[in-house]
Structure 1
Amino acid sequence: MDSLTQIVLGAAVGEAVLGKKIGNKAMLYGAIAGTIPDLDTFASHFTDTVTALQIHRGFTHSIIFSLLFAPVFGKIVSLYDKSVSWKSWSWLFFFGLITHPMLDAFTTWGTQFFWPSTNRLAFKTIFVIDPLYTIPFIVCLILAMRLPKTNCKRSFYNKLGISISSAYLLLSVILKFITYQKFTQALQTQNIAYTNIITKPTAFNTILWTANVDTPTAYLIGHYSFFDTQPIHFASYPKNHELLTPIKKDKSIQKLIKISEGWYSITKKENQLYFNDLRFGLLSLSPKATNFAFSYRISQANKEIQVTEVKKDRENAKNLLSSLLKRIRGN
């Protein structure tokens, strides 16, 4: 999830663990703990694009990281803050660290929760930014932090925020199950043969969902809103995997294929190859759209393969938001 959401979750967890003993300091250190796993993003400043992608949501988002470093961070804080014991600080950091990847596991990117296994745990039930998850959480947290640590309403508001956000997360799982049935029924009705399908919510909501469908030569992408009245339409995108044949054994290409979990297409524009990660869809809901949310330019210099991410601009974001608001209302 986004940084703000992880800060709020960490603060709420910190309050639940030590709020009655140290008040708002529990929220502060909980927020810090909830932020720490995402420090792996700094890897992009020290390594290549593909390796940075591998590192993100890897070791720092694992059970092992939480177990190993919670006592370390707890010890560091206990050296200058004697409010509670080293053990208590360690518990706060453990729960602040572990809940971060637990929440991220519900997103499309997922986490290497069981590192050193490189397999990602990804339930794909919630977008990385979802106001309906975060805003009620923030409101409850603010209400709690304004009260003295001894006030019983403080605990009530904090638990209310955790309960509402958890209930919404559970709802997203239920909605995913419902939409999965809708997509598979549509494929059956339209006599479309497929080998695999993944479903996920579109940006900022859990009303409009999208499906990636694997067929022998192409991927199909369809959208379904709970307000739809017309059948689901599936747009086709050729795989073009054969375009990678001359360079497919390259380490960077192999890493990209693994990171995308095999959900990728190759496009060629002006003699330039692009690797498109289909898991995150496109920057438009138009059936004719070709601008993928995550696309990587593949170039060759001095016989070495170089991969760089195609930058997204504000205009793409504006167009996507506009089309989302329209499509959510139904087809």
Structure 2
Amino acid sequence: MDSLTQIVLGAAVGEVVLGKKVGNKAMLYGAIAGTIPDLDVLASQFTDTVNALDIHRGFTHSIVFSVLFAPIFGWLVSRYEKLGSFKDWSWLFFWGFLTHPLLDAHTTWGTQLFWPLDLRLAYKNIFVIDPLYTIPFLICVIWAMRLPKISVKRRKINWLGIILSSSYLVITLLLKAYTYPKFTQALEDQEVDYTSVQTKPSAFNSILWTANVDTPNAYLIGHYSIFDTQPIQFASYPKQHELLGKLKDEEKVQQLIRITEGWYSITQKGERLFFNDLRFGVLGFASGEDRFVFSYELIETPTGLKVEEVEKDREQAKELVGELGERILGN
């Protein structure tokens, strides 16, 4: 999830663990704990694009990290703060670290919670930024923060935020279960020969859902809003894996294939070759090979293969917000 959401979750968890003893400092350190796992994004400053992708939501989002580093941070804070023991602060950081990947596991990217096992949990039932999850939670945390640390109402308001946000996660799981058969039925009605289907919510909401469909030679992408009245239409994106040629044996390409779990397509523009991550679909709702959310150019150099992420068009992104709003309301 986005940084603000993880800060809010961490603050709420800190309040549950230690708020009665140290008041708002529990929220402060909980917010810090909720932020620390995402510092793995700094790997992009020290390594190449592909390895940075591999590192993201890996070790720092694991149970192992929570167990190993919670006592370290707990000891450091206990040396500085007069209230709370080493054990208290260690528990706060442990739960702050652990709830971060537990929430991230609900997103499309997922987390390697059981690192070092090469297993990424991704339930794909909530977008990385969802105001309906974050805003009520944020209001409750700020409200609780303004109450005395010994206040019973403070604890109730904080728990209200946790319950509301968790209930919303359950609702998104139910919506995922409701919309999935809509896609499979549409595929059957259109007599599409497919091997697997993955669904996820579209940006900033849980009303409009997207399906990625694996067929022998192409991926299909379709959208369904719970307000739709017309049949689901699927856009086709040829896999074109053969365009990789000898590059398919390159270590970085194999790494990308593993990261995408095989959900990728290859496009070519003149002499330029692009590796497209299909897990996150396309920008907008119109077909177009240059509208993938995540696309990487494969560049052959004298020193080896170089992989560069394609920059997104910010102006195009602004236009897509209005397009998204219209699509959410149904077709």
Q: What is the TM-score when the length of structure 2 is the normalising length?
A: 0.99
Corresponding residue of 1:323: 323
Residue 152 of structure 1: how far off its partner (Å): 1.0
Structure 1 residues 248-277: Cα deviation after superposition (integer angstroms, max 9, x where no partner): 110100010111111000000121000000
Q: Secondary structure at the match of 2:300?
A: strand
3-state DSSP class of the match of 2:296? Answer: strand
* Aligned match of 2:209: 209
Aligned residue in 1 for 2:32: 32
Which letter maps to 1:300? E
Q: Is the 8 A contact 2:14 2:27 kept in 1?
A: yes
* CA displacement, residues 216-262 of structure 1 (integer Å, 9 cap, x when unaligned): 00000000000000000011000000011211110100010111111
2:281 corresponds to which residue?
Answer: 281
Partner of 1:5: 5
In the other structure, the counterpart of 2:269 is 269
Separation (CA, whole Å) in 2 of partners of 1:214 and 1:80:
54
* Residue pair 1:227, 1:330 contacting (<8 A) in 2 also: yes
Are residues 289 and 229 of structure 1, via their aligned partners in 2, closer, same or farther at CA, if it must alter by over 3 Å? farther
Unaligned runs of 5+ residues in structure 1 are none
Paired letter, 1:200: K
State the 1:316 CA deviation.
2.2
Is contact 1:12–1:30 with CA below 8 Å preserved after alignment? yes
1:178 aligned residue: 178
Number of residues of Structure 1 aligned to a counterpart in Structure 2: 331
- What residue in structure 2 maps to residue 57 of structure 1? 57
Whole-Å separation in 2 of the counterparts to 1:270 and 1:154: 62
Aligned residue number for residue 292 of structure 1:
292
Instruction: Compute the displacement of 1:287 (Å).
Output: 3.3
- Aligned pairs for 1:1-331 (under 5 A) are 1-288=1-288, 290-302=290-302, 304-331=304-331
The ranges of structure 1 where at least 4 consecutive aligned residues each deviate by more than 3 angstroms after the TM superposition are 287-290
Shift, 1:313, TM fit: 2.4
Of 286-295 and 166-175, more deviation after overlay is shown by: 286-295
Give the letter aligned to residue 137 of structure 1: F
Alignment partner of 1:51: what SS? helix
Distance in 1 between residues matched to 2:51 and 2:23, nearest whole Å: 41
The runs of 5 or more residues in structure 2 that have no matched partner are none
For 1:266 and 1:256, how far apart are their aligned partners in 2? 12
The letter for the 2-side match of 1:320 is: L
180-189 vs 57-66, greater mean Cα deviation: 180-189
Answer yes or no: is the 8 Å Cα contact 2:298–2:306 preserved in 1.
Answer: yes
In 1, the alpha carbon distance for the partners of 2:268 and 2:49 equals 20
Name the SS of the counterpart of 2:236 in structure 1.
Answer: strand
Deviation for aligned residue 1:143? 0.5
Cα distance in 2 for partners of 1:284, 1:297 equals: 21
Query: d(CA) in 1 for partners of 2:118 and 2:273?
Result: 27
Cα distance between partner residues in 2 of 1:303 and 1:247:
14
Deviations 1:119-156 (A, max 9, x none): 21000000000000000000000110001001111001
Separation of aligned partners in 2, 1:72 and 1:230: 56
Question: 3-state DSSP class of the match of 1:108?
Answer: coil
Decide whether aligned partners of structure 1 residues 309 and 288 sit closer, same or farther in structure 2, where only a CA change above 3 A counts: closer
1:68-112: CA deviation from partner (whole Å, max 9, x where unpaired)? 111111011111112011001000000000000000000000001
Alpha-carbon distance, 1:64 to partner:
0.5
Q: Percent of aligned pairs with the same residue?
A: 66
Structure 2 Cα separation of the partners of residues 95 and 239 of structure 1: 42
Does the 8 A contact of 1:284 with 1:319 survive in 2? no
Q: Which residue identity lines up with residue 67 of structure 2 in the other structure? A: L
SS at match of 2:205: coil
Q: Distance in 2 between matches of 1:58 and 1:288?
A: 32
Contact 2:267/2:289 (<8 A) preserved? no
One-letter amino acid of the counterpart of residue 156, structure 2: F
SS class of match (2:209) = strand
Q: 1:323 deviation in Å?
A: 1.2
CA distance in 1, matches of 2:275, 2:254: 12
Contact between 2:237 and 2:289, CA under 8 Å: does it hold in 1?
A: no
Looking at structure 2, the residues matched to 259 and 311 of structure 1 have their Cα atoms a distance apart, in angstroms, of 19
- Residue 288 of structure 1 deviates from its aligned partner by 4.3
- More displaced stretch, 50-59 vs 112-121: 112-121
**SS of match in other structure, 1:278:** strand
C-alpha distance in structure 1 between counterparts of 2:207 and 2:289, whole Å? 21
Give the drift of 1:51: 0.2
For the residues of structure 1 that align with 2:287 and 2:330, how far apart are their CA atoms? 15
Q: Shift in Å at residue 328 of structure 1?
A: 0.4
CA distance in 1, matches of 2:311, 2:26: 38
RMSD, matched Cα:
0.8
